[in-house]
Amino acid sequence: MKVAIISVSDKGQKVAEDLKEKLDTDSTIIKTDLYHKNVKKYFPLLFSEYDAIVAIMASGILIRSIAPLVESKISDPAVINIDDNANFVISTLSGHLGGANKLTHKIADLIGATPVITTSTDVNNKLGIDVIAKDLYLSIDNTKEILFFNKAILEGNEISFTVNPNKNFNYLFDYLNNNTLEINLSINFSSKVPTDEIHVEYGDHHLTLTERKIVVGIGCRRGKECEKIYHGLIESIGDLNINISRVNMLASAEIKKDEKGILELSEKLSIPVEFVELDKLKLFESNDVSKSEFVKSKFGIWGVCEPSALIMAGFDSKLIYKKTSYDGVTISIAVENKN
Q: Domains along the chain?
A: 2-118 (3.40.50.11220), 123-211 (no CATH), 214-335 (3.30.420.180)
Over the chain (339 residues), the average pLDDT of each successive run of 10 is 97 97 96 95 94 97 95 92 97 94 97 96 92 95 92 95 96 92 93 96 95 96 94 96 96 95 96 95 87 76 90 94 95 89
Phi, psi for 203 (deg, rounded to 5): 60, -125
89 burial level (CB within 10 Å; 0-12, 13-18, 19+): buried
What's the pLDDT score for residue 204?
Answer: 92
**Using one digit for the tens of pLDDT, what is the confidence trace for 96-152?**
989 999 999 999 999 999 999 999 999 999 999 999 999 999 999 988 999 999 999
Which among 273, 281, 321, 322 is positioned nearest to 298, based on CA atoms?
A: 281
The pLDDT, as a whole number, for residue 328 is 92
Kindly give, in sequence order, each residue whose CB lies less than 8 Å from that of residue 200, ignoring residues fewer than 6 positions away. 129, 149, 159, 160, 161, 162, 206, 207, 208, 209
- What 8-state DSSP symbol labels residue 299? H
Residue 89 one-letter amino acid: V
The predicted structure's pLDDT at residue 339: 60
pLDDT given at position 286: 86
